[in-house]
């Protein structure tokens, strides 16, 4: 799994299979800019199969991409946030982590794992002025949901109180709030962006 980190001046390619590469790239970012204030963990992939047909590789690949990447990125960025006594960490989960879904036991486990990880992380880093939160989207109009068959999409929409799929901007707005100073007293939380389909 590869993921781009973007900024105004440079783009860094991170390969999650190479831990040394992660450390090297993050160190390079810090050396260049003098701080790392925000981390958004947004890696996501799926390999859907019912449990009887799911291979160990189907399972481990999705856990690595969706969950282990959050651990590795957070671990390697936090030490630089501690130096500056400030940081905002946002990890993207999914409604499926809360509700489950047929054929997605690996995806569900990885996304629910992010929520548990976030709670522990938030407790560990709060004293350093770092907050850690989760944004958990429902059905959003993206490439991942584009291939959902029309009849299935209609079934999902009937379950959504707002009667529509969300826009990418709906998720972005939640993330932008959590990285802003307006959210400075919010940590360890999961913000659900799902049109009311799931409520805690």
Catalytic residue positions, numbered: 107
Alpha helical stretches, state H, the chain: 19-33, 56-63, 69-84, 95-99, 105-125, 143-146, 150-159, 168-179
Got the DSSP string for 61-104? HHHIIIIIHHHHHHHHHHHHHHHHT-EEEEEE--HHHHH--TT-
Order of strands, edge to edge, in the sheet holding 190-193?
38-41, 87-92, 130-137, 190-193
Residue 71's Cβ-count burial label (10 Å; 0-12, 13-18, 19+) is middle
What is the enclosing helix (H) or strand (E) of 131?
Answer: strand 130-137
CA 86/CA 181 separation, integer angstroms: 11
CB atoms within 10 A of CB 44: 20
CA 94 and chain centroid, separation: 8
């Amino acid at each position: 799994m590869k993921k781009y980190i973007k900024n105004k001046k440079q783009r860094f390619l991170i390969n999650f299979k190479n831990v040394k590469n992660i450390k090297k790239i993050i160190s390079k970012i810090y050396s260049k800019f003098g701080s790392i204030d925000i981390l958004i963990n947004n890696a996501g992939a799926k390999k859907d199969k019912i449990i009887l047909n799911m291979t160990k590789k189907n399972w481990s690949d999705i856990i690595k991409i969706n969950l282990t990447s959050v651990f590795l990125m957070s671990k390697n960025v936090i030490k630089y946030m501690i130096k500056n006594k400030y940081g905002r960490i946002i990890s993207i989960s999914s409604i499926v982590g809360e509700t489950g879904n047929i054929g997605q036991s690996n995806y569900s486990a990885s996304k629910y794992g992010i929520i548990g990880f976030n709670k522990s992380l938030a407790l560990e880093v709060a004293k350093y002025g770092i907050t850690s939160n989760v944004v958990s989207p429902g059905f959003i109009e993206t490439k991942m949901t584009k291939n959902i068959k029309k009849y299935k999409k209609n079934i999902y929409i009937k379950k959504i109180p707002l009667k529509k799929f969300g826009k990418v901007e709906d998720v972005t707005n939640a993330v932008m709030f959590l990285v802003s100073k307006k959210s400075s007293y919010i940590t360890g939380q999961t913000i659900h962006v799902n049109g009311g389909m799931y409520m805690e």
